[in-house]
Each structure stands twice: as C-alpha cells, then as structure tokens.
Amino acid sequence: MTDPLSPPPKKDPQKRTRVPALPSGMRSRAALGLAVAAAEGRFMLQGCEACGALQYPPRDACSTCLSVDLKWRDVEPTGQLIAETTVRTSTSVYFRERTPWRVGSVKLDAGPSVMAHVHGDVAREAAVRLINRLDKSGQGVFFALPVDGSANMADDPQLRELTADPKFRRVLITDARNENSVALAKAFADAGATTIFVGEPEGWRPYPHRAALAAIANVAIVPLDVTDTQSVTELAGEIGGKTDILVNNARFIRPGGIMDRGDTVFARDEFETNVLGLMRLAQAFGPPMRNRGADGVNSAAAWVNILSVYAYANMPAYGVFSASNAAALSLSQCLRAEMAPGGVRVLNVYTGPTEDEWHQPLPPPKVAPSALARSVVAGLKDGLEDVYVGDVAKDLIERWRQGPKLLEREMIAEAGEAR
Amino acid sequence: MNAVDIKSADLLAQMAGAIASGSIEVVDLTHTLDQDFPVIILPPEFGQCARFRMEEISAYDHRGPAWKWHNISLCEHTGTHFDAPSHWISGRDIPNGNVDEIPVDRFVGPVCVIDCSAGARQNEDFELTPEIILDWEKSHGPIPADSWVLMRTDWSKRRGAHYLNMRDDGPHSPGPTPDAIRLLVEERGIRGFGTETVGTDAGQGMHYTPPYPAHFILHGAGRYGLQCLNNLDRLPPTGAVIVATPLKIKKGTGSPLRVIALVPGKDA
C-alpha cells in the first residue's frame, strides 16, 4: 500500500516557492502521438497498416517491414514488469528533486516491451496495468500500476506528478450563478478538495441554488464577475496564490445565429463572458498558478475550461454561442502554451447540449450537471487534457476527426431539417 | 444692455457668490458609476441593460508612460440616469424626444420633493397616489407647472440585494400609481418625474394598467424621467433647483448623468 497523502502543512513564509522544473520535453513528431493519446487517457501504440506489427517506441517507419503506413491503435494495456530499478540521483533537475524514482520495462501482452514509470505498489515481475499519461512537460509517458489497484494508489508521489488530483487542493469555480455550480462544488468536496471558492457575480440579485451551494462543506462564496476586470483582478490578488485548480464554468448562452438575432448585443455578452472572461481570468490567475506548479502537495495543478463541443463545428441554432466557444478553444491552446513552463495542465471539457433553460426545447440526450461534474473531477484525477462528456460530444468529435468539412455539411443539413 | 439683462447678470453673480459662500448648497444626487450597482433585470430572453464596465488602457506604464485612462462601457440606462421620451413606445413620435434634441433649458429647473420615506419603510410596494400628492400640496402649495417632481423613498440607502429587492414574482420597490402620474402630467404639467429606485415605476409596475405607467404616461406626453437618484433626503420639499444634463448622444433614449441640486441654505 501507499502511504496516504498527508494534508500539506501551512506554507513557511521564509521559504522560497520552488521554481517549477520540467522533465525533458523534446520528442519527435512521431512520438507526439503518445501525447495525443495521453491527452484523452488512451493507451495507444503505433500499428503498421501493411504488416500488422505493433511497435514501440514510435518511429516514422515500421521496424518490421519499413512501411510508413502507421496508425495509432488502442491497445490492451496489460503486461508484466520484466525489469525495474529505482533512480537515486539524476542530472535532470526535475528528477533530481523527486528521487527516488522507480522505472522499469514492461512486456505488453500485445507484444512490444515498453519503458514505464512504475508505481510503488507494483511487485517485482508482477502483472501490471499500464496507463498513458501526460507528464509535467505535456509528453505522453507510460505508468505501470498494480493490476488490481492498491490502498491509497492515487497518493503515490510519482503518479501524483501525472495527475491533477483535487485531494488536498484548493479549487476556484468561477460562476456560482451557473446551475452546474452546485454539482461541481459537491464533486470537488467529495474528491477531497480543502477549499472550494465559488465566484459569485452580481450578488445584488438572488438565484435559486445559493443556499444549496453555501451548504456544501468547504465552500466559500466570493465576489467574482468574469466580465469585470477589476473584480477578477481583486479576487486574484486575494486568492490567486492559493488557487490550485481553476474551473471556469462561467458561460453566457442564448439561442440564435446571425440573421435571426438582428443585433450584436447577445453576441457581445457571449464573447465578453466566454472569451474575454477566460482571458481576464488567465491574465489574473495564470501567472500565480504558473509560478506554483511545483509547490508541494497542493501545488497549482490544472486549469479547466468547460466548452461547447460546437467549438469544433458551428451549430447554427446556437451559432454565435458556438462561435464564442470556437474562440475560447483557440485561446485555451494559447493558454496551454503559456501554462506549460509551470507544468500546469489545461483541461478542456467539451459538452453537447446541457440540461438547462437554454436547451429546454432540445430533445435528449442532454448533459446533466452531475455528469459534467463527474467528468471534470475524473479528468483531473486522470490528468487529462481533453474530455468529451456525453453521447453528443463524443459523437461530434468522432465525426470531426473523420472529416471537418463533412461534419460542417452535416451540421448545415441538420439545421435545414430542424427548420 | 437692457434692464432685464442687467438684472439677470446680477442674479447670476449673486448666485455664484452664494454658491461660493455656501449659502446655496450644491447637493450631488448621483450614485457613483460602479460595476456592482444594480441595473433593471428583464426576463432573460430579452436584451439586457449593460452593466458599467471599465478597462484600463494604460496606467503610466508601457502601454502609455505618462498617462492613465480607461475605456468604459455601459447602457444609456445604467446607474443614475435620465430617460428621454423616445425611451418608451408611447413617446417614440414625440418631436425632440431624443437626448441630443432636447433643448438645454429643460435640463435646469425647479423641483418639488414628495417625501414617501416613512411609507416606503413600512411597505416595500408603497404607492404614490393622487391623495398623497394633494395632501402634499395642502402643506406646500400647488406643484408649479414645468417643475420636476421627485419621489423620496430613501431607497438610495439600500445596498446589494435589498435595492432591486428581487423575488420570484419580480422586484418589489415603491412607485407611482397610474392616477398619480396622470395627475402630475395632465393636471400639473410637470417637466419630469424622478425616483431613487432603479426605474421611475414601482418594482411591480408591470401589473398596472397601463403597465409601467410612469414610463408610458410621462414619455407619451414628452416628459422626462430620472432614476437611481441619491441624497433626496437632503432636498427641501420646494425651493431647490436641479441641473440634470444628459450626455448629447445622437438619437439617445437616455443617458447616465451627474445630477446636482442647488439648495437654499438655512439663511435663505
């Protein structure tokens, strides 16, 4: 079993906050395929379309038949630990600060042998379950877990480097007024977050779920309006240095495309909240979070954007909302690049129509707040970068991968049918 | 130079002297433009009043080394503001009904203040009725034609959620009945009507006939509104003059503004 994580002590104000160091981040283009798979928590290897061989490490050509027709395949993530060692010292600053560090090689049941970081509870020569995760440099790395799990498994220090587990971390949920704030706060409380700050815009008008929100353990409601720069700056001044996970659930949505609106008033609100709101938050909270990427058990770990999957392909019935989310998606990529030096993960959680007033006339399936909250917390525990919640989002991203233009034509046709 | 000119020049000089000496007090009837000041809330499928927002352009820094300035954004009807006749459907065809067209002499005028603060303290839906107006006139004389009438409720002292006082059935705040507004507009011929609440109408004003009677009747008759006023408790029932000059917004239906009152001092 793993020693359970202890609640971090209060910070010693005389100690300098450790500057985040990163593991080596250089990879070939072929090897980036591991990061692509890890972003969604998939265990994949390169497979040859010509001879069928699976290979590791990734290369530009098949090591069996030299074909360049290689495709990434989901592979059964089981195998056996065939060699292992514990690194006691290293020339890499990142590993030097984190030794002892266990590594090994695993013979996969699917064939190839792979290099992996090894969980402390894996016995020598034991059967293992592998996961593919992003390391602090954002590169895909394999990690070997005990096949049946173990007590306090998630608390393993090496595994915790690969995740953004909310346990003992302090969370900011940016919009209390959003109907999903209660489910999100509950999910973080259940996951062991120590403080759950929830930003409340416009405290001068009531909303129905405030009492339910305030009743959740460890919730602190604080004034925050992502459309108001001063409000964002003020809150970041107060709690920016102890925000370990930021979940931006602020959202402005109205149905309608371009011509059936006839003005840009709601569009401005959508861009103010969904795009510039993200930017204001990132300008205020991004720097302190990036500086605290290696600040112990409750280091800054992740930034979560909740986006519409129609960021990928415009849904004309919510055309301007889709456009604002496309802009937010693009900003999130910029944010990933800017957060990278701190090793702070940017998790995008994509959802289709959600169970709320603005999607009320749409038929199911719709994403319930509880399902969204579960996905956010699960994505953090797994250290993911992209999560698709619900059937609509999963289906849409699959179709997008098959062909963005094809999907665009389908969206236009669906809008025509709806009329 | 004729006699009248000499007299008015003297008047102005005397007034300037009186303001300088404090025997005429200048009272600010305006709330600070603040991001967190409540605005009117409509059903969410309707367009909404923009909140006051401020973005720093530079602050003596790399964005502008020797100067600080902000871009601001807001609605014509955010904060302490003026309503022009064109704000309401009843006033859409009124000549000179936009803020940029209103003759500037309309922006300076005498004011009557009807104190409803005791009633509003007891009853958040307190109504200004014709009876209250007639009662007021018994003590203070008839409301002069072309004067402003302000309804004092001390609502401006409320903060946060207590200001809009929004509940499941909408906001609850005091305001005039349709008959009260008709009396003021049609019989007294007032220039405009002002309140300390977020609108010239009561919080529940949509349930009168006509809905929002102050807006409908005032603007239909080409009269003006002032709302979100502050410090009305510092005005006498009669005898003060207010200066309320909206921004000159082309085709504007209203405007945030600084409203000041010239109040006779105790020596007057």
The two structure tokens encoding residue A302:
């992740």
- Looking at CA atoms only, how far is residue B240 from chain A in angstroms? 32
Identify all chain B residues contacting A267, using CB atoms and an 8 Å cutoff: none
A111: pLDDT strictly greater than 80: yes
Q: Do A235 and A102 lie in a common domain? A: no
> For strand A113-118 and strand A140-146, is the pairing parallel, antiparallel, or unpaired?
parallel
Q: Do A111 and A258 lie in a common domain? A: no
Q: Provide the domain count of chain B.
A: 1
Interface test with B, best of A177, A204, A280 (most B CBs within 10 A): A204
Nearest residue to A205 via CA among B164, B51, B228, B33: B164
User: Residue A139 and residue A149: Cα distance in Å, rounded?
Assistant: 24
Identify all chain A residues contacting B53, using CB atoms and an 8 Å cutoff: 227-229
- Looking at CA atoms only, how far is residue A206 from chain B in angstroms? 7
Residue A185 lies in a domain: yes
What is the b/e burial string over A287-303, where b = at least 16 CB atoms within 10 angstroms of the residue's CB? ebbbbbbbbebbbbbbb
Q: Which residues of B touch A (CB under 8 A)?
A: 35-36, 38, 41, 44-45, 47-48, 51, 53-56, 160-161, 163-164, 166-167
- Closest residue, chain A, to B171 (C-alpha): A205
3-state DSSP call for residue A6? coil
Considering only the beta carbons, identify the residue of B35, B48, B160 that sits closest to A228. Answer: B35
Residue A11 lies in a domain: no
A184: pLDDT strictly greater than 50: yes
- Looking at CA atoms only, how far is residue A229 from chain B in angstroms? 7
So what's the pLDDT on residue A262? 86
Do the beta carbons of residue B260 and residue B243 sit within 8 Å? yes
Identify all chain A residues contacting B47, using CB atoms and an 8 Å cutoff: 263, 265-266
- Looking at CA atoms only, how far is residue A394 from chain B in angstroms? 30
User: Residue A342 and residue A400: Cα distance in Å, rounded?
Assistant: 31
Q: Do A154 and A176 lie in a common domain? A: no
Q: Provide CB contacts within 8 A for A229, sequence distance 6+.
A: A280, B53, B54, B55, B56
CB contact under 8 A, B35 and A266: no
CB contact under 8 A, B36 and A204: yes
Once rounded to an integer, what is the mean pLDDT over residues A262-266?
Answer: 93
CB contact under 8 A, A204 and B160: yes
Identify all chain B residues contacting A177, using CB atoms and an 8 Å cutoff: none
Nearest residue to A231 via CA among A199, A270, A191, A268: A199
B167 vs A177, A208, B60, B119, CA distance in Å? 16, 10, 45, 20
Residue that finishes a domain, picked among A160, A190, A209: A160
> For strand A44-48 and strand A70-74, is the pairing parallel, antiparallel, or unpaired?
antiparallel
pLDDT in tens, A56-91: 999 999 999 999 999 999 999 999 999 999 999 999
Residue that finishes a domain, picked among A123, A140, A160: A160
* A93 HSE (CA, 13 A, CB side): 8
Residue B12 lies in a domain: no
CB contact under 8 A, A225 and B35: yes
Annotated catalytic residues of B are: 87
Q: Provide CB contacts within 8 A for B78, sequence distance 6+.
A: B33, B37, B39, B49, B50, B51, B52, B256
Helix axes A277-291, A319-339, angle to 10 degrees: 20
pTM: 0.95
User: Residue A39 and residue A241: Cα distance in Å, rounded?
Assistant: 27
Mean per-residue pLDDT of chain A: 96
Residue A18 lies in a domain: no
Between chain A and chain B, the number of residue pairs with CB atoms below 8 A apart is 42
Q: Do A119 and A240 lie in a common domain? A: no
Do the beta carbons of residue A130 and residue A77 sit within 8 Å? yes
Cβ–Cβ contact A203 with B under 8 A: yes
Residue B2 lies in a domain: no
In chain A, % helix, strand, coil (3-state, to 5) comes to 35, 20, 45
Q: Do A108 and A178 lie in a common domain? A: no
Cβ–Cβ contact A211 with B under 8 A: no
3-state DSSP call for residue B97? coil
Side chain identity at A15, as an amino acid letter? K
Q: Provide the domain count of chain A.
A: 2
Identify all chain B residues contacting A265, using CB atoms and an 8 Å cutoff: 47-48
A255: pLDDT strictly greater than 60: yes
Q: Residue B94 — φ and ψ, nearest 5°?
A: -70, 130
Q: What is the largest CA-CA distance in chain B?
A: 64
Identify all chain A residues contacting B38, using CB atoms and an 8 Å cutoff: 202, 204-205
Q: Which domain holds residue A87?
A: 32-160
Low-confidence ranges of chain B (pLDDT < 50): 1, 268
CB contact under 8 A, B160 and A202: no
pLDDT confidence band for A1 (50 / 70 / 90): confident
pLDDT confidence band for A260 (50 / 70 / 90): confident
Identify all chain A residues contacting B167, using CB atoms and an 8 Å cutoff: 206
Q: Do A141 and A273 lie in a common domain? A: no
Q: What is the largest CA-CA distance in chain A?
A: 69
Residue that finishes a domain, picked among A160, A181, A211: A160
Residue B14 lies in a domain: no
Helix segments in chain B, DSSP class H = 3-21, 117-122, 130-140, 161-164, 178-182, 213-220
User: Residue A85 and residue B45: Cα distance in Å, rounded?
Assistant: 63
3-state DSSP call for residue B88? coil
Considering only the beta carbons, identify the residue of B45, B55, B161 that sits closest to A203. Answer: B161
- Closest residue, chain A, to B56 (C-alpha): A229
Q: Which domain holds residue B131?
A: 25-264
The domain that holds B90 is classified in CATH as: 3.50.30.50
Residue B4 lies in a domain: no
DSSP letters spanning A144-213? EEETT--TTGGG-HHHHTT----TT-EEEES-TTSTTHHHHHHHHHHTT-SEEEEEES-TTS--TTHHHH
Instruction: Report the sign of the C-alpha dihedral through residues A179, A184, A190, A194, in that order.
Output: negative
CB contact under 8 A, B54 and A254: no
Residue A3 lies in a domain: no
Residue A156 lies in a domain: yes
CA dihedral B73, B76, B82, B86 (to 10 degrees): 160
pLDDT confidence band for A419 (50 / 70 / 90): confident
A144 vs A24, A217, A297, CA distance in Å? 20, 35, 22
Q: Do A193 and A70 lie in a common domain? A: no
Q: Do A237 and A359 lie in a common domain? A: yes
Q: Provide CB contacts within 8 A for A355, sequence distance 6+.
A: A366, A367, A368, A369
Q: Do A132 and A217 lie in a common domain? A: no
Cβ–Cβ contact A204 with B under 8 A: yes
- Looking at CA atoms only, how far is residue A309 from chain B in angstroms? 23
3-state DSSP call for residue B85? helix
User: What's the distance, CA A292 to chain centroid?
Assistant: 18
Strand order in the sheet with A302-308: A219-223, A195-200, A170-173, A245-248, A302-308, A345-351, A386-389
Residue A59 lies in a domain: yes
Considering only the beta carbons, identify the residue of A206, A230, A231 that sits closest to B161. Answer: A206
Q: Provide CB contacts within 8 A for B138, sequence distance 6+.
A: none
So what's the pLDDT on residue B268? 47
Do the beta carbons of residue B223 and residue B184 sit within 8 Å? no
Q: Do A210 and A147 lie in a common domain? A: no
Residue B238 lies in a domain: yes
CB contact under 8 A, A229 and B41: no
Residue found by looking up tokens 């090793």 in the block: A343
User: Residue B257 and residue B77: Cα distance in Å, rounded?
Assistant: 10
Q: Do A246 and A121 lie in a common domain? A: no
Residue B82 lies in a domain: yes
CB contact under 8 A, B167 and A231: no
CB contact under 8 A, A203 and B56: no
Strand order in the sheet with B224-227: B24-28, B259-264, B240-244, B108-115, B148-152, B192-195, B224-227, B81-83, B254-256
> For strand A78-87 and strand A54-55, is the pairing parallel, antiparallel, or unpaired?
unpaired
CB contact under 8 A, B47 and A229: no
Interface test with A, best of B32, B53, B166 (most A CBs within 10 A): B53
The domain that holds A366 is classified in CATH as: 3.40.50.720
User: Residue A230 and residue A226: Cα distance in Å, rounded?
Assistant: 9
- How many residues belong to chain A? 419
Residue A72 lies in a domain: yes
Q: Do A180 and A139 lie in a common domain? A: no
DSSP letters spanning A333-380? HHHHHHHGGGT-EEEEEEESSBSSGGGTTSPSP-B-HHHHHHHHHHHH
Residue A117 lies in a domain: yes
Considering only the beta carbons, identify the residue of A231, A269, A357 that sits closest to B35. Answer: A231
Identify all chain B residues contacting A228, using CB atoms and an 8 Å cutoff: 35, 51, 53
Side chain identity at B183, as an amino acid letter? L
- Looking at CA atoms only, how far is residue B156 from chain A in angstroms? 14
A268: pLDDT strictly greater than 50: yes
User: Residue A188 and residue A378: Cα distance in Å, rounded?
Assistant: 10
Do the beta carbons of residue B123 and residue B135 sit within 8 Å? no
CB contact under 8 A, A204 and B48: no
Considering only the beta carbons, identify the residue of B55, B56, B161 that sits closest to A205. Answer: B161
Considering only the beta carbons, identify the residue of A230, A254, A357 that sits closest to B35. Answer: A230
CB contact under 8 A, A203 and B160: yes
Helix segments in A260-318, DSSP class H = 265-271, 277-291
